[in-house]
Structure 1
Amino acid sequence: MNKKLGLLFIFCASVFAACQNETESSTVNSVLSEESSSVAAEFEESVAKTIIFSSGVTDGITRGDKYNYFALEGTAEGFDQVTTLIEGTAVDYRETNNVWEFDYPYQGPGIETEITFTTDASVSYGDTGINLDDLAPESYVTITFMPNENPTITPPAFTVNEGEAQNFLSDDSGINELVTVTEIREIDGLEDLNPLGEKLLEVEIQYVNNGTVDTYIAPNYFLALDGEGKSLPLRYTHFWLHTVAPGESFTEKAYFDLTSEGPYAIQFFDGAWIDSEEEGGTVNDL
């Protein structure tokens, strides 16, 4: 009997020791994990960013001015250009000058938006599906754009019916562009575009280069305005970039989030096409 009790005691002691070792091991692993996370966080904070904003950004925030533009200045020492990313898409870029400075005046969307600036040379204007985790931590900085909720609205330069053409001319530069917004319509939100709401504004655009030089066109060359003249957010998840040689043309679609009601206007540079029955001019000198 005593022998059995002795064996039972040894077994219980073994189980207790194993449990204690497992608990200690779990505690050690937890501590190591926390220390590792802490070290990683400290490393992230200590990484010297290659982009430093000198104006226009405070505590990681840039704000829309009275026209809902934001303007910032920065330095990117030793790098040829700074590329701008929204929704994983390279939507624009700025070349740096001899003292590595760059500036960025831009009309922001009418919603709070995260905007990333990067010097990573693997990123090219027009790229989509960019994952920030694939970029070197020191190569980019993300800031938040806070829109002006009540911007000063500049009236469109021209108003034409849907389907009518608008001609942009510049004799000095050889530019002669014929742009037609062939259709403006509300559609159900497309899941692939990750819309903010249930509806999108789909805008079909036909572009013809009648000039003597190449032109470069992307959807963010266009603005969609609501019935009050405020800009609608562009869906950068549907991004195209065309180099258009003289005599060439294309037809594409741009998508905007419907955050307010129409009638909707589509602006291209300083011209505009409005979904209405008003008549207006058809030629705009750049």
Structure 2
Amino acid sequence: MNKRFGLLLVVCVGVFAACQNESETEDSLVSEQSSVSAEAEKSVTKTILFSSGVEDGITRGDKYNYFALEGNAEGYDQVTTIIEGTAVDYRETNNVWEFDYPYQGPSIETEITFTTDTSVIYGDTGIKLADLAPESYVTITFIPNENPTITPPAFTVNEGEAQNFLSDDSGINELVTVTEIREIDALEELNPLGEKLLEVEVQYVNNGSVDTYIAPNYFSALDAEGKILPLRYTHFWLHTVAPGESFTDKIYFDITSEGPYAIQFFDGAWIDSEEVGETVNDI
């Protein structure tokens, strides 16, 4: 009986050792394959080459937390920017196939992808980089300036007050109202960074003579120190607004720092007066 048990134990140990060796071999093969894939990715000839503003795949915020880069994409009419799987902007290339991209980043590290893939259209959401040709896109990391110089807006109005933006030369006449600014519990479907979001309701009226195009990244949310909060690109809309038309929609920002919060649209800003505790109206 003891001999049989001893034999069985030896067989079990042998099977375990064989399984372990097989597992190690598989892990080794997977590791080698991953290494080969990474090397293959590095060897891909990209259609986008940066000529300035990017070093070792990193671009950094300047004293105002802007970054500006230049690049070329020979043979392509435009380069589209993707953040969080959303096509948030595009730049047309000029006669020598160069493009430039000035951007004021939020106060967090952000992955930003640039692509020449013509199937990607500004405003698209749910974009998976794995579905794009490897040579068609390049991803860089934006690292913010931790202590940027804050430039105050041209004027400030309260939540609920309308502000008019107009340009006689271009036929633009916009009436913009941030109707509500409030903190909410984070919505899981928006893939938030934390437990709270800033929900901002916007009402927009086109009183001009030309079509206008409005998206959430036309607005910025600022914390008590004037630093920009991250926009939730996972909730992205793009409205084409004809003369005489209007819309109301919501924008979401990650709350990464303390309020009171202000919302900027171009040169204007809206303050949640309930948060501030006093009226602010410096126009």
**Please, what TM-score do these two structures have when normalized by structure 1?**
0.87
- Following superposition, the deviation at residue 228 of structure 1 comes to 1.1
1:196-231 Cα deviation digits (max 9, x unpaired): 111110000000000000000000000001111111
CA contact (8 A) 1:158 1:273 kept: no
Answer whether contact 2:106 2:227 (CA < 8 A) is retained.
no
Aligned-pair CA distance for 1:154: 0.7
Compared CA separation, residues 227 and 38, structure 1 to 2 (3 A) = closer
Q: Which ranges of structure 2 fall in alignment gaps of 5 or more residues?
A: 1-14, 274-278
Question: Could you say what secondary structure the match of 1:41 adopts?
Answer: helix
Which of residues 157, 160, 163 is equivalent to 1:160? 157
Query: Match of 1:275, as an amino acid?
Result: D
User: What pairs up with 1:91-110 in 2 under 5 angstroms?
Assistant: 91-110=88-107
- d(CA) in 1 for partners of 2:183 and 2:16? 63
Aligned residue number for residue 212 of structure 2 = 215
Count of residue pairs brought into register by the alignment? 266
- Tell me which residue corresponds to 1:6: none
Alignment counterpart, residue 262 of structure 1, candidates 256, 259, 262: 259
Out of 23, 34, 45, the position equivalent to 2:42 is 45
Query: Partner of 1:130 in structure 2?
Result: 127
Unpaired stretches in structure 1, ≥5 consecutive residues: 1-17, 282-286
AA aligned to 1:113 is T
Please name the residue that 2:7 is paired with: none
Structure 1 distance, partners of 2:66, 2:281, is: 29
**Secondary structure of the residue that 1:231 maps to in structure 2?**
coil
Counterpart CA distance in 2 for 1:159 and 1:28 is: 65
SS in 2 for 1:42: helix
The one-letter amino acid of 1:280's match is: D
Rg larger in structure: 1
Give the deviation of 1:94 after TM superposition: 0.3
Instruction: Give runs of aligned pairs for residues 1-286 of structure 1, distance below 5 A.
Output: 33=30, 35-276=32-273, 277-281=279-283
Instruction: Give SS of 2:157's match.
Output: coil
| Alignment root-mean-square deviation, CA | 2.2
Go from structure 1 to structure 2 and tell me whether the alpha carbon gap of 1:22 and 1:189 turns closer, same or farther (over 3 Å shift).
Answer: closer
Detail structure 1 runs of 4+ shifted over 6 Å in the superposition: 18-31
Cα distance change of structure 1 residues 158 and 47 upon mapping to structure 2, 3 Å threshold: same
- Summarize the Cα distance change of 1:20–1:156 in structure 2 as closer, same or farther, 3 Å threshold: closer
Per the alignment, residue 7 of structure 1 pairs with none
Bigger Cα displacement from structure 2, 163-172 vs 34-43:
34-43
Instruction: Give deviations 1:143-184, integer Å, cap 9, x for gaps.
Output: 000001111011121111211100001000000000000000
